[in-house]
């Protein structure tokens, strides 16, 4: 396992993200605990020492399951991270209540890493509003040893991150960014990393495979990469790319099964950053992919808990993207034929509650309306 120096710690370069654990019967709230325990055991055995969860993952059950899984190990043998759920504005007055509950759920007396979750356009004003006392409370917990390292995650644009840093940057020790070779330009990740470099704030990576979209590529793109590194799997290229960025310390991967974890552990057994030609090739592939992307949904499921219709929004958006990519076809209509009428895109009432918590800023209601129209053509 590769390790990175962070202050006086040695962190595994691969961190286990607990947002996409294996679930029962497709229900995101019902985590397969036995499978989760097995994956934590494999991770610990393989030298992974960083574990990332959050209040909202798996409808609030990720913290519970990860707490149970990690409680079987000595507290000093792992680093646990969770986050204050500011992606939901109704949580802003509840920082103390939520923090205490998180400690209880995770069965710990302190968090090694704690983050302001999802700093973005929707919540930046609230995060900076002194009436909520979030910043002051978290600093107090750090002073009391209940938070060892304080940071933030961000899906917002450059200006939002700059505002946050101008206010709180002197106390931020790390930043978790959506970073991969597709988003280096597409979501302006390059400039965000450069901004963090100016503040001497290291980067933690989320969505290294962009919700699985970089786990496989178009055949012609895969051939280009195989010609350069015949022994390297396609998902590994995304991790090798990130190993090439000096600012990156921890790369979080939301591994859903044992095979994914075994492959990632093998990739992180050695440091093999990309050379100049390989970087040029991967950026070229990313440029061509961006032109094909319709909506950048990463299936984080923040939206689903805010939908009064109970729609599987990530699933519907995936079908919408497929329908747009293929300019019609049979795949989306076939899949939708198995979905009840009240769960179809046409069931969207356009309330935009989902859009208020979408990290990607997707105009979901417009997509559902367009999908409905396309299906009716």
Encode pLDDT of 11-65 as tens digits.
999 999 999 999 999 899 999 999 999 999 999 999 999 999 999 999 999 999 9
- CATH T-level assignment (fold) for domain 3-290: TIM Barrel (3.20.20)
Q: Evaluate if residue 211 carries a pLDDT over 80.
A: no
Percent of the chain with pLDDT over 90: 79
- The pLDDT tens digits for 129-151 are 999 999 999 999 999 999 999 99
- pLDDT (tens digit per residue) in 216-267: 999 999 999 999 999 999 999 999 999 999 999 999 998 888 999 999 999 9
Domain boundaries of the chain, sorted by first residue: 3-290, 304-376
| DSSP string of 325-345, one letter each residue | HTTS-SHHHHHHTTS-GGGSG
The angle at the Cα of 39, spanning 35 to 43, to the nearest 5 degrees, equals 170
Nearest-angstrom CA–CA distance, 218 and 208: 18
Residue among 354, 365, 368, 359 at smallest CA distance from 305: 354
Q: What percentage of residues in the chain have a pLDDT greater than 70?
A: 97
Residues 286, 281: Cα–Cα separation, whole Å:
9
Taking all residues of the chain, what is their mean pLDDT, rounded to a whole number? 93
pLDDT at 285: 93
Residue 328 has pLDDT above 90, yes or no: no
| 8 Å CB contact between 259 and 233 | no
Closest CA to 371 of 339, 353, 121: 339
3-class SS at 251? Answer: strand
Check residue 157 and give its pLDDT: 79
- Interior CA angle at 110 toward 108 and 116, to 5°? 115
Residue 41 vs residues 16, 105, 139, 351: alpha-carbon distances, Å: 11, 19, 33, 43
| 282-308 confidence digits (pLDDT tens) | 999 998 876 666 688 888 999 999 999
Measured between alpha carbons, how far is residue 224 from residues 180, 219, 227, 237, 269 in Å?
A: 18, 9, 5, 12, 24
- The predicted structure's pLDDT at residue 197: 97
Structure tokens at 245: 């960025």
Question: Rounded to the nearest 5°, which phi and psi values hold at 183?
Answer: -85, -5
How high is the pLDDT of residue 295?
A: 85
User: What DSSP string describes 36-70?
Assistant: HHHHHHHHHHTT--EEE--TTGGGGTHHHHHHHHH
Q: What is the reported pLDDT for 296? A: 83
For position 104, what pLDDT does the model report?
Answer: 97
- Residue 325 pLDDT: 55
Say what the pLDDT of residue 287 is: 85
User: Do residues 205 and 177 lie in contact, with contact meaning Cβ atoms separated by under 8 Å?
Assistant: yes
Sorted by sequence, the CB contacts under 8 Å of residue 174 that are 6+ apart come out as: 6, 113, 149, 151, 201, 202, 203, 204, 249
């Amino acid at each position: 396992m590769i390790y990175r120096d962070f202050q006086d710690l040695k962190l595994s370069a691969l961190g286990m993200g607990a947002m996409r654990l294996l679930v029962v019967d497709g229900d995101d709230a019902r985590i397969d605990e036995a499978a989760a325990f097995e994956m934590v055991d494999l991770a610990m055995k393989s030298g992974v020492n960083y574990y990332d969860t959050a209040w909202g993952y798996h409808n609030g059950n990720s913290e519970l399951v990860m707490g149970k899984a990690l409680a079987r190990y000595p507290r000093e043998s792992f680093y646990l991270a969770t986050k204050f759920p500011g992606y939901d504005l109704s949580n802003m007055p509840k920082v103390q209540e939520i923090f205490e509950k998180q400690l209880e759920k995770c069965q710990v007396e302190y968090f090694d890493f704690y983050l302001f979750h999802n700093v973005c356009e929707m919540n930046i004003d609230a995060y900076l509003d002194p009436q909520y006392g979030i910043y002051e409370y978290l600093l107090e917990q750090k002073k009391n040893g209940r938070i060892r390292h304080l940071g933030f995650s961000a899906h917002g644009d450059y200006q939002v991150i700059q505002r946050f840093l101008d206010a709180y940057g002197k106390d931020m020790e790390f930043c978790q960014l959506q970073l991969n070779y597709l988003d280096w330009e597409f979501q302006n990740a390059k400039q965000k990393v450069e901004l963090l470099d100016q503040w001497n704030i290291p980067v933690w990576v989320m969505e290294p495979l962009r919700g699985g979209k970089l786990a496989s590529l178009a055949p012609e793109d895969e051939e280009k990469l195989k010609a350069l590194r015949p022994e390297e799997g396609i998902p590994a290229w995304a991790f090798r790319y990130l190993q090439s960025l000096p600012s990156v310390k921890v790369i979080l991967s939301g591994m859903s099964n044992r095979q994914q974890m075994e492959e990632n552990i093998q990739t992180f057994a050695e440091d093999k950053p990309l050379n100049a030609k390989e970087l040029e090739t991967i950026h070229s592939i990313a440029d061509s992919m961006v032109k094909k992307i319709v909506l950048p949904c990463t299936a984080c499921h923040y939206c689903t808990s805010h939908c009064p219709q109970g729609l599987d929004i990530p699933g519907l958006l995936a079908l919408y993207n497929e329908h747009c990519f293929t300019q019609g076809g049979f795949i989306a209509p076939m899949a939708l034929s198995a979905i009840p009428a009240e769960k179809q895109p046409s069931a969207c009432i356009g309330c935009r509650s989902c859009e208020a918590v979408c990290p990607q800023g997707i105009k979901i209601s417009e997509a559902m309306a367009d999908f409905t129209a396309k299906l009716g053509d």
